Amino acid sequence: MSVIESLPEGVLEPMLDAMPIEISFVDTEDRVRYYSKGDKRIFPRSPAVIGMRVQDCHPKKSVDKVIEILDGFRAGTMDHARFWIEMRGMKILIQYFAVRDKDGKYLGCLEASQDITEIQKLEGEKRLLNLE
């Protein structure tokens, strides 16, 4: 039994949506198969993107980079790509991860986007819960 199978039915999607990171999954055919639906998405998604080629979901100026990343993942020459941008007063971290099975076979790409503006301001340590 896998760890996922041990989750109660109906928990996985709300769990993914609760994360402070937007995620999307693109399959081996470069088709969007999943995106998390958090309340405050940085990059809004419509249900219409499901099944679309990921190249058709990005601005034209970045499509060549998307293709380069996916080709690198598929060829096994890359496993991760990271970018950050300034947008609407936020610092956005965008990461792409190759998803592979236990034998290393390419299954697709996970895209994770996160507003790291507040994270960058952290200093020192906070070890105890402070509800203030």
Nearest to 106 by CA among 78, 67, 66, 64: 78
Whether residue 29 contacts residue 108, with contact meaning beta carbons closer than 8 Å, is answered with: no
**Greater pLDDT, 132 or 13:** 13
Handedness of CA 57, 59, 64, 70 (dihedral sign): negative
- Sketch the domain layout of the chain as residue ranges: 20-120
Query: How far is Cα 31 from Cα 26, in angstroms, rounded to an integer?
Result: 5
The pTM assigned to this predicted structure is 0.86
Least-confidence region, from 40-44, 49-53, 62-66: 40-44
**Greater pLDDT, 89 or 4:** 89
* pLDDT at residue 40 greater than cutoff 90: no
| Correct CATH for 20-120 of 1.10.260.40, 3.30.420.40, 3.90.1150.10, 3.30.450.20 | 3.30.450.20
DSSP category for residue 61? G
**Greater pLDDT, 62 or 28:** 28
